[in-house]
Amino acid sequence: MLRRTLGDPRIARLLGLIGAALRPPPGIGRIALALSLGLICHLAFALGVLAMIVAMFFGLSESLGSVRWPWAALANTALIVQFPLVHSALLTGRGGRVLARLVPGPHGPTLATTTYAIIASLQLLALFALWTPSGIVWWRAEGAVLWAMTALYGASWLILLKASFDAGAEVQSGALGWMSLMARIRPVFPDMPTQGLFRLIRQPIYVAFSLTLWTVPVWTPDQLILALTYTAYCLLAPRLKERRFASRYGTRFDRYRDAVPYALPRLFSVKLHDQRD
């Protein structure tokens, strides 16, 4: 059982990266830069995710934003649109080149995934910490319904965590960049994900993120606007990602796309033969 677990490429790849980072070649400046960016990345990641979990649990009825209405509507709109716009723009070829130059010096390209995770985390933190609540609460779960909704909300986050692991925990968390710099190796990205939840649907991360938007125990106009906007983004944005995959993996991705549905799993699974060209 242990051998099978360690043989899982998702775990083996992560353990290999961690092992290499724990035995860094000499270079105090490089190591200090890697550790500093790693600390910033994971702290920002934790704060961004925590702010999102807490704010949505209360339906965005509790936050630190204090912009006066009606200007708050413009401020909240800006907070909503900034995440998908920047998030998607940085995934383009031009965005990747920008990321590689954000850290001055020769290590910018290696740290690109860490830089990307820092920016995304700060965007989430800004969205959920600076939101100005409308003050309107339509519905608040109580008693047994509250416990049930809380369980569904927690389950949605666990599904998102599992999907992120299946896609490559080192990339999703931003660890790939700074750990690769520590080890003084070229960052190696995970192969096209086809394991775990990716056997059921092609976009489990986006679907799980959508689930977190709709399983909250408090409903407000704020939460509804957020849920509608980001669900639309989660359904449309992966089309751009799949274009990149089609260009990168060719017929492998074509076979995968034919065998696995986009967002809703089939009642009867189709066996996927993941053969490499």
Q: What is the pLDDT of residues 1-25, one digit of tens each?
A: 555 555 677 888 888 899 999 999 9
20 falls within a domain: yes
**Model confidence at 266: pLDDT above 60:** yes
169 falls within a domain: yes
Question: CA–CA separation, 91 vs 175, rounded Å?
Answer: 17
Residue 67 CB neighbours (<10 A): 14
- Please, which pLDDT band fits residue 275 given cuts at 50, 70 and 90? very low
**Model confidence at 233: pLDDT above 80:** yes
276 falls within a domain: no
DSSP string, 95-141: HHHHHHHHS-STTTTTTHHHHHHHHHHHHHHHHHHS----S---EE-
Domain total of the chain: 1
User: How many angstroms separate the Cα of 167 from the Cα of each of 63, 193, 265?
Assistant: 31, 6, 17
Helix (H, G, I), strand (E, B) or coil at 37: helix
Q: Tell me the residue range of the domain where 193 lies.
A: 2-259
Residue 13 CB neighbours (<10 A): 18
User: How many angstroms separate the Cα of 267 from the Cα of each of 159, 176, 201, 205, 210?
Assistant: 19, 36, 12, 20, 21
- Please, which pLDDT band fits residue 276 given cuts at 50, 70 and 90? very low
Q: What is the pLDDT of residues 46-63, one digit of tens each?
A: 999 999 999 999 999 999
Angle at 263 between CA 261 and CA 265, to 5 degrees: 60
11 falls within a domain: yes
**Model confidence at 277: pLDDT above 50:** no
Position 241 scores a pLDDT of 86
User: Do 89 and 95 contact (CB within 8 A), yes or no?
Assistant: yes
**Model confidence at 223: pLDDT above 70:** yes
265 falls within a domain: no
Q: What is the pLDDT of residues 135-179, one digit of tens each?
A: 999 999 999 999 999 999 999 999 999 999 999 999 999 999 999
* Size (the chain), residues: 277
83 falls within a domain: yes
135 falls within a domain: yes
274 falls within a domain: no
- Residue 246 CA, chain-centre distance (Å), reads 21
